[in-house]
Amino acid sequence: MSDDKIFEKTVSITSICLVVYPLMAFLGIGLCFYYNYELFAAQGFAKFYIFGTIPVLSQIIMGLVVTFVTIVLCIWGSSSLAWLKNTEVELKKVIGDLTLREMVIIGVCSGIGEEVLFRGALQPMFGLVWTSLFFGMLHFPVNKQFLFYPIFATIMGFILGYLTIINHGCITSAIVAHAFVNMVNLYRINKVVVEDTPVGD
């Protein structure tokens, strides 16, 4: 793949993230205010959903623990399961080479945008199960080679949803875990070596 095509692809990905995920966050905040108007009028969004009743540091640590366990399992799966390794190779072909800045943008934007909408707004309205299933369906791929992705997203939806429940509705742990899992996995996939296919094969 030429440098120009890689540049176009990465710019496209980060540009989409900078548009779509903020819109998801604003939609989530709007739904939160609609769903808990009196509560937000008294406390505000940040106090209820970010700070809450549990120390922020404790929430961050919980998010990092979930990140660590998830990444260890991802590394084990990639090294032990050929089909999962092949999935990562195919994903690398799609996203191309990412810079560290782009990985951070994608990770942070997806972590904040999706968690505000799904765990912050939709989970209180529809519950853990339906929200997690919908979260997985949203990640359903066009390419059948990535069919594992919605399964992984559904599992993570349940985990992040449970984190939110044990934190009494605060989404800080979920944001931290979501953002770091995405960033680290993007870093891992970015290191995948894609062998060039000889012309005519």
Structural domain boundaries in the chain: 43-191
Q: Which has more pLDDT, 4 or 185? A: 185
Structural tokens at position 193: 């070596």
**Cα separation of the two ends of the chain:** 16
Amino acid identity for residue 76 in this structure: W
Entry pTM: 0.86
Whether the CB-CB separation of 186 and 106 falls below 8 Å is answered with yes
pLDDT band at residue 47 under the 50/70/90 scheme: low
Kindly report, residue by residue over 98-142, the tens digit of the pLDDT: 899 999 999 999 999 999 999 999 998 999 999 999 999 999 887
> What DSSP character marks residue 146?
G
